[in-house]
Amino acid sequence: MQAAPGPRPATSRETTSLRRWVTAAGIALIVLIVAADSYEAWQDYRRVVTENQHVMLALSRSLTEQTERLVQEVDVVLADYAGWIISAEGRAADPRAITARLNVEIVSLPFVSSATLVGADGKIRASTQESEAGVSTLETLDVFSVIAASTGNMLYIDRPGTGSVRAARTFAMGRRVVGHGGTFDGVVIARVAFEYLEAFYAGVNVTPDTSIRLARTDGVTLVEYPARPEPAGAHEQIITISRKVGGYPIVVTVSRSAASVLRPWIQEERSSAARTATLAVLASLLLLALRSALHRQQQMDQERHRLEQELAGIQRVEALGLLAASVAHDFNNVLTAIIGYAELLRDMVDAEPAALSNLDRLLAATERARLLVRQVLTFDPRRSVSYRPTPLEPIMEEVAQHVQATLPYSIDIELKGIEGATNILGDTTEIYQVVMNLCTNAVQAMPAGGKLQLQLDVLDIVEQKTLALGQLQPGRWARLTVLDSGVGLADEQTASIFEPFYTTRQSTHGTGIGLTVVRNIILRMNGALDVDSRLGSGTRMTVYWPVVAAVARLVPQIGPEIAGAGETIMVVDDERELVVLTEELLASLSYEPVGFSDARAAIEAFRCDPTRFDAILTDERMQLLRGLDFARLIHELEPKLPIILMTGHRDAELDARAKAAGIAEILDKPLRVQTLREALARQLRAAKP
């Protein structure tokens, strides 16, 4: 039967699913926050751009209308002046009168800085500008040459220029003067001042960072406000709206840089982005907190599941312990009978080698059965065990000898590290069981042969370590390593090998309790165990025990007087066969036994003659009267009488109750003749005055 690791609990799966859902919802929330802010930013962007376009469109419309009226006024006065020049009065006027008329009709306009009349030959006939008074001809200027060469009578707008006196920037507007015969008779010119237009544009332009440009249709700039020191860079985006002045070859363009238009939007979006980032960070922190809480909840669920499994395992072990306790009594009674009669028979058989050999095999089989019962009893956590400083090296040697005697030729055993003296706090039999079970498992893992290694050393642990079983605390530890070159274990097998009745072999080759016994003993001794195994690469079992100092013990010497001298021993057991057997054993030891299978009859016999008995042997588990209750009744009659209790299952509670009842000694069933001999000798010697 091969047990698999327990499935993950439903609550843990639900927590994992919830954590995934929360993660997806949190990410969706963060994406939604960012998307909502991005959409709002896009809407704000479109609103800002649209509003700017509306403002620029209204501004361009207003500027176009104002510019159209300005040009019309100049065009009208130029046309009137041209008509006056070709009239009789105009032809007869002298230069002074012509100049005066220029000042009155043209220069009187607030946006005209000067006016000039040029004849058909290009020579200046009259001018309101002093800088042109000494200039004889303007035939090289476009405003003259273009008009002179044209056949139409449209208003011409020249390129901008700078006056020679005040260095005032102007651009010229000219109209053709036509004589009576349709001949070209000259050009009348008005110069429009930049200062006026810039002041006008400055008053109209209420939007910051907006540029107003007045240009000819061929792209020549007439006026630009504010004047740009240099053209816009290739990377700079400009928003422009252009409108043509009706009936004239000029265009009004209103422009604004995209950076200027979007500056308020950018500032607003920075604040919005900061808010969004804050919300996203808070949402992320909340998500992390929720994930962390769910992760802790999952860990708690897993830990609870692990504890529930451990509790279930403990409950199984306790149930097994109760079963072991109930079976041990009856089974040990049977073994007591088998061992007792076998030992009696061995003493009676004359030196016949065959008979003695058979009896020795029988006693060896009963010893294995006794050890098997002790292994089963290790499942009971309440059983009584006396721990004392015990050297490991002799136990390892004994186990190695026993294993060596049963090893096949294909397996070699190697023993290392038994030269010193390493003491641990434990019970010799339990330590023997640990080492023997580990070696037995190692041998069974090498069906094709191999090498078994046992090594003992001492090491100092500096930091706490968690192993497969138990924990290593800082201190000095004894390390026992059992290494085989066998088939090894898979990971899922390693997690289950300490479960009761778990085995990787056939049911005929193992009971599945060996490593469970090892686990119970090691944990009870505050030890630890680590497992390192791979399929096909063998297994290393490493056991750790805290090292303790050795304590010298005085062993009482039992001499030849160990045999009885006719002392009367009362034997009380509810099983008649065991009473008879114990009587025979006591008789073989030179005691006078008096047996009772009824505890009440034994009490009546003791009341009748209390001085007759030197000691009492009583079983603990009797149907009519427990052994401890029987001992209390006896001690009410004779407090100093030594009473030895026999039991097939001993625990800490029984030890405490026996001490309170005045029990002199407790013997574990099945009894051996030597054990009974030594116990009676001790108690009878102690009872002598």
Phi, psi of 421 (to 5 degrees): -135, 105
| Cα 340–chain centre separation | 64
The confidence score (pLDDT) of residue 551 equals 61
Fold observed for domain 561-687? Rossmann fold (3.40.50)
Pairing of strands 411-416, 471-472: unpaired
CATH superfamily of 385-546: Histidine kinase-like ATPase, C-terminal domain (3.30.565.10)
Q: How far apart are CA 129 and CA 115, in angstroms?
A: 7
pLDDT tens, 403-436? 887 788 888 888 888 777 888 888 877 888 888 8
Domain boundaries, given as residue ranges, for the chain: 10-300, 385-546, 561-687
Task: Specify whether the CB–CB gap between 631 and 643 falls below 8 A.
Answer: yes
Query: Percentage of residues in the chain with pLDDT exceeding 70?
Result: 80
The ranges of the chain with pLDDT < 70 are 1-12, 130-136, 162-167, 205-208, 228-236, 313-314, 317-318, 320-331, 333, 345-352, 354-356, 359-360, 363-364, 366-386, 491-514, 551-564, 689
Does 561-687 match 10-300 at the fold level?
no
Q: Which alpha helices (DSSP H) does 86-138 contain, by range?
A: 88-92, 95-105
The confidence score (pLDDT) of residue 251 equals 92
The confidence score (pLDDT) of residue 579 equals 86
Check if CATH label 2.60.120.560 holds for domain 10-300. Answer: no
Strands of the sheet with 592-596, listed across from one edge: 592-596, 568-572, 615-619, 643-647, 665-668
The confidence score (pLDDT) of residue 5 equals 44
Q: How far apart are CA 73 and CA 3, in angstroms?
A: 109
Give this prediction's pTM.
Answer: 0.45
CA distances from 211 to 205, 253, 482 (A): 8, 8, 94
Task: Specify whether the CB–CB gap between 510 and 503 falls below 8 A.
Answer: yes
